[in-house]
Amino acid sequence: MSFKNIQKYVFNCFLLTIPILVWDYLFTDKLPKAVQSENFRKEIPTYIIQIENISRLLMFVMASFMTIKIIKPIQKKGLALYVFGTLLYFAVWLLLMYFPNSIWGKSVFGLLAPAYTPLFWLVGIGFIGNSYFFNIPFKRWLYFLVVVIFIFFHNWHTYLIYFRTS
């Protein structure tokens, strides 16, 4: 197997999720208590958690099959959106970590920020991906549909936490 063949399996869009996964792992326990893991699933309907988790898994699996090749203008715009979205995602976490008792941190808009800002970097990934590394037609809209389902249920979940704790 040549390097070019191995490269298409290794350099996939899942790599773009690694900074987010590492960030989440390192800093989740620094977010406000309401959204920390011991409280995150409390009193949330099971179907919301299940749909959220299934759509999250599908997004990551789909990203792992999407090749990274930033050549076309749409892919370059996708990269810019991914970088913007990732920086925005990190920024809203930092605001919640360092200013949890601020007006913004106590607002629904502030507490939900880590749930709705992934839309930017996820859509960026969707535009960066251009094909699957196996012989199946690439349908970008299908990835976007899974992203929308995930974002909807992730935000609903966080919205329920906000109203339970405020």
The model's confidence at residue 89, banded by pLDDT at 50, 70 and 90, is: very high
CA angle 132, 143, 135 (to 5 degrees): 20
Q: What is the pLDDT of residues 98-121, one digit of tens each?
A: 999 999 999 999 999 999 999 999
Q: Distance between CA 86 and CA 82 in Å, rounded?
A: 6
pTM of the model: 0.91
Per the prediction, the chain carries an average pLDDT of 91
Note whether 139 and 107 are within 8 A (CB). Answer: no
* Bridge partners for 132 per DSSP: 66
Asked if residue 82 lies in contact with residue 163, where contact means CB atoms within 8 angstroms, the answer is no
Predicted confidence band of residue 51 (pLDDT cuts 50, 70, 90): very high
Among residues 10, 128, 121, the alpha carbon closest in space to that of 68 is found at 128
Closest CA relative to residue 121, chosen from 162, 92, 100, 94: 92
Percent of the chain whose predicted confidence (pLDDT) is above 70: 95
Give the pLDDT score at 2. Answer: 64
AA letter at 145: L
Tokens standing for residue 120: 């930017």
Decide if 17 contacts 82 (C-beta within 8 A): no
**Cβ contact 15:68 at 8 Å:** yes
pLDDT over threshold 70, residue 1: no
| Residue 153 vs residue 42, higher pLDDT | 153
Q: Where would I find the beta strands (DSSP E) of the chain?
A: 66-68, 129-132
pLDDT, tens digit, 9 for 90 and up, residues 6-25: 666 678 999 999 999 999 99
Distance (Å, whole) CA 119 – CA 107: 20
Question: Is residue 135 scored above 70 in pLDDT?
Answer: yes
Give the CA radius of gyration of the chain: 17
Element (H or E) spanning 21, and its range?
helix 18-27
Structure confidence at residue 7 (pLDDT): 66
Which amino acid would we find at residue 146?
V
d(CA 84, CA 31): 21
